[in-house]
Amino acid sequence: MNGFKNQFLLNLASKNTRLDNRGPEDFRKIEIEKGVIENAEGSSRVKVGKTDIIVGVKLDVGSPFADRPDEGVLMTGAELSPLAHPEFETGPPRAEAIELARVVDRGIRESGALDIKKLCIKKGEKVWMVFVDIQIINQDGNMIDTAMLAAVEALWDARIPKYDPKTELVEYGKRTKDKLPMKHKPVAVTFAKLGESIFVDPNTDEEAAMDTRLTVTTKDDGNLCALQKGGFGTFSVEEINKAFEISAKLGKQIRKKF
Amino acid sequence: MTLKREGNRKPNECRPIVMEVGVVPNSNGSAMVKFGKTTAIAAVYGPRSVYPKWKQRSDRALLNCIYSMLPFSTGERCRPGPSRRSTEISQVITCALAPAIFLEDYPKSVIDVYINIIEANAGTRTTAINAASLALSDAGIAMKDLVAAVAGGVIDGTYVVDLEGKEEDASKCDIPLAYMPRNKQVTLLQMDGDLTPKEASEVIKLNIKTCEQICEKQKQALRKKWEK
Amino acid sequence: MSEENQRKLVLPGEEIISSLDYLPGKNCFREGNSIYSKKLGTSYTSNRVVSVIPLSGVYLPKEGDMVIGEISDIQSNGWVVNINSVHDAYLPLSGVRGFIDTRKTDLSRVYALGDMIYAKISNLIGGDSIHLSMQDSRARKFTSGRVVNISPAKVPRLIGKEGSMIKLVKDKTGSRISVGQNGVIWFEGGDEERSIELFKLIEEEAHTNGLTDKISGMFKEEKK
């Protein structure tokens, strides 16, 4: 379908040029809105270029995992709704949606951005369960970085509702001042490899033409907390090390703006 | 203070490795690989026709890798059938093997790679990749290189390779990596954890060195089947 | 040239020769100055072309190959034939000797479901359109006899240089044998058990040296 266009993009890439004239380390315009869904305990809508994602955070009280009795539970899901792109289908999440959810989940969980130890209500019995649901509104490339931004903002936006231990009921609808125990903001930066060139934040055209991608997620202190390589191509060690460098730099820039 | 590992392993040493090619006679190619207790059996069927037909690609083969953990492979029984985790791992394994295959040589077909983890003690996805790479060669599928994989981490400041079960918890991070040694290309890279870019680079460096050694073992295993 | 007789076991991605004076042939590729093998197999060089005979693999059809297949479907203008490859092959009406009037003749009377035929691959288009023809003098329908499968990769060894190996087998067993490039072998008569034994032996030891001599020396005690 896209053979002709892909070839054109690859030709441009060989000259280190992008179709929309961005530099190799340029993100598209990022817009972040918080608290967009009233019924959600936390929410955010992020646009990176034309990619548009809403993340809603819902909280509930439940039992902890047997092997982690004093920790809250974080569950991340993603839905690639058919309204977002002509090629998305209805039905249970397929591999792409599952990968997206798990990569975002790891970025938050592994970095300790959400302190799940502070979500314990009664050890072994009751903990806060944090549900992060990622909804794609419009897919125009780089859902991973966009979803990560939205998920992190939604978690920072979230307020823990009142819980009555006697009735075991959560009081939804009343926004408290209790923030979730968030420690920092992980930022994901995805690199797309087109031929020998590596570009940050690919749009759908670039995603169609790319051979492979590498997502590098960093914390505020510049440490890496998650890596994910996808696609049918390869990376050299030098390319990987360079990606670490650029990701830390861009992570700082993005955090500063928001 | 030197790190004490099970079986007195050095930090840059893998668990005992066993590789056997041609273990599933019904398949077009197969292999079994063990890293310590972790055991994977990979079987390749293909290239063969694609069903439904509209899914096929006119320019190359589809590659379909399915990773599944058998219910008795873990300490606590794991539910049979695909899970979100196994779906993601199947994806990354496909992305780890695809660059090594001449997919364009087999248009309008599919290469199915089924990998079962029959015993799990960490490093299942990398063991799976090692087995699948052998199975693909055994099936006579055109490849650019073999793919070797291993997972590394950092325990008490020491860089270690081939993490086993208990070490995964003790390590600051878990970095599975797959590598094509001939052209020095990384085909799988994931990371869980918290480390500086410099530490990550060091783990990757050690992983790569180990993959080169694992690849030599893969070559031995392939030769062993045919050189009597 | 002595190099033509050198069979070396090579692995996928293994360098066979580092020279710009050679060309990559079957199952080989060039990268930079070197020629590498694409598959697990035995490499050989002939007239400056480096090739690899794979040790395994699904049959990939070539125009001109004779194959043995089974009729798996009958359509309005031809038959679908299973040839143990990635895709099924198609035998069109035009590929059959003589004129068939489809208004008068039921195609299943010519070739019925389950019939085994020895046919030639006449045309390959786009990777999945494999057309067969029965026009070749060797082509026929098998009405009796037995069929055995071996790995298609071993067929060249079974046939041998200029048919020497298959002739040796026919001499040793007295069987009538037809070999399909797709690894399907039809045989009938003579010592059928011995034929099967030899087919399997050749399949297992195709990659070893001295196989011809070994088989020549077999069953000698019985010749009185």
Q: Which residues of A touch B168 (CB under 8 A)?
A: none
Residue A247 has pLDDT above 60, yes or no: yes
Interface of A with B in 171-230 (CB under 8 A): 212, 214, 219, 222-230
Of A224, A228, A234, the CB nearest to B197: A224
Mean pLDDT of the B194-210 span: 96
According to CATH, what is the number of the domain B16-221?
A: 3.30.230.70
Q: What is the pLDDT of residue B226?
A: 81
Mean pLDDT of the A45-55 span: 95
- C103-121 residue pLDDT tens: 888 888 899 999 999 999 9
Check if B83 contacts A (Cβ < 8 Å). Answer: no
- B161-193 residue pLDDT tens: 999 999 998 999 999 999 999 999 999 999 999
Question: How many separate domains does chain A show?
Answer: 1
User: Between the CA atoms of C33, C39, C42 and C44, what dihedral angle is there, to the nearest 10 degrees?
Assistant: -40
Tell me the ipTM for this assembly: 0.91
Q: Which residues of C touch B219 (CB under 8 A)?
A: 11, 14
Q: What is the pLDDT of residue B1?
A: 53
Touching partners of C (3+ C-beta pairs < 8 Å) = B
* Inter-chain touch B222–C86, beta carbons under 8 Å: no
Interface of A with B in 105-144 (CB under 8 A): 106, 110-112
Q: What is the pLDDT of residue C224?
A: 43
| Average pLDDT of the residues of chain B | 94
Residue B203 has pLDDT above 90, yes or no: yes
- Band (C3; pLDDT cuts 50, 70, 90): very low
Architecture of the structural domain at C2-54: Beta Barrel (2.40)
Percent above pLDDT 90 for chain A = 84
Of A102, A226, A235, the CB nearest to B84: A102
pTM for the model: 0.91
Q: Write down the number of H helices and E strands in chain C.
A: 4, 16
Pairs of residues, one from chain A and one from chain B, whose beta carbons lie less than 8 Å apart: 99
In chain B, the residue whose alpha carbon lies closest to the alpha carbon of A241 is B201
Q: Which residues of A touch B183 (CB under 8 A)?
A: 234
In chain A, the residue whose alpha carbon lies closest to the alpha carbon of B206 is A237
- Band (C2; pLDDT cuts 50, 70, 90): very low
- C133-166 residue pLDDT tens: 999 999 999 999 999 999 999 998 899 888 899 9
Check if C54 contacts B (Cβ < 8 Å). Answer: yes
Phi-psi category of residue B125: left, alpha or beta, with phi > 0 → left and psi -120 to 50 → alpha? alpha
Residue C15 has pLDDT above 70, yes or no: yes
Of A101, A111, A231, the CB nearest to B194: A111
Asked if the domains at C2-54 and C66-142 fall in one CATH topology, the answer is yes
What is the domain extent for residue A16?
3-257
Q: What is the pLDDT of residue A89?
A: 86
Q: Write down the domain spans for chain B.
A: 16-221
What is the separation of C-alpha C168 from the centre of its chain, rounded to a whole number of angstroms? 17
Of B85, B194, B205, the CB nearest to A110: B194
- B8-26 residue pLDDT tens: 899 999 999 999 999 998 8
Mean pLDDT of the C184-188 span: 94
Q: What is the pLDDT of residue C155?
A: 93
- Band (B2; pLDDT cuts 50, 70, 90): low
- C20-75 residue pLDDT tens: 999 999 999 999 999 999 999 999 898 999 999 899 999 999 999 999 999 999 99
Q: Which of B115, B125, B119 is nearest to B151 (CA)?
A: B125
Pairs of residues, one from chain B and one from chain C, whose beta carbons lie less than 8 Å apart: 90
Percent above pLDDT 70 for chain C = 95
SS (H, E, C) chain A: CCHHHHHHHHHHHHCCCCCCCCCCCCCCCEEEEECCCCCCCEEEEEEECCEEEEEEEEEEEECCCCCCCCCCEEEEEEECCCCCCCCCCCCCCCHHHHHHHHHHHHHHHCCCCECHHHHEEECCCEEEEEEEEEEEEECCCCHHHHHHHHHHHHHHHCECCEEECCCCEEECCCCCCCECCECCCCEEEEEEEECCEEEECCCHHHHHHCCEEEEEEECCCCCEEEEEEEECCCECHHHHHHHHHHHHHHHHHHHHHC
* Inter-chain touch C27–B107, beta carbons under 8 Å: no
Check if C156 contacts B (Cβ < 8 Å). Answer: no
* Inter-chain touch B192–A106, beta carbons under 8 Å: yes
According to CATH, what is the number of the domain C66-142?
A: 2.40.50.140
- A188-216 residue pLDDT tens: 999 999 999 999 999 999 999 999 999 99
Check if B195 contacts A (Cβ < 8 Å). Answer: yes
Q: What is the pLDDT of residue A86?
A: 86
Q: Write down the domain spans for chain C.
A: 2-54, 66-142, 146-222
Of B49, B107, B142, the CB nearest to C27: B142
Q: Which of A115, A136, A141, A111 is nearest to A217 (CA)?
A: A111
Q: What is the pLDDT of residue C222?
A: 55
The alpha-carbon gap from B189 to the nearest alpha carbon of chain C, in Å, equals 22
What CATH superfamily classification does C146-222 receive?
K Homology domain, type 1 (3.30.1370.10)
Check if C164 contacts B (Cβ < 8 Å). Answer: no
- B100-130 residue pLDDT tens: 999 999 999 999 999 999 999 999 999 999 9
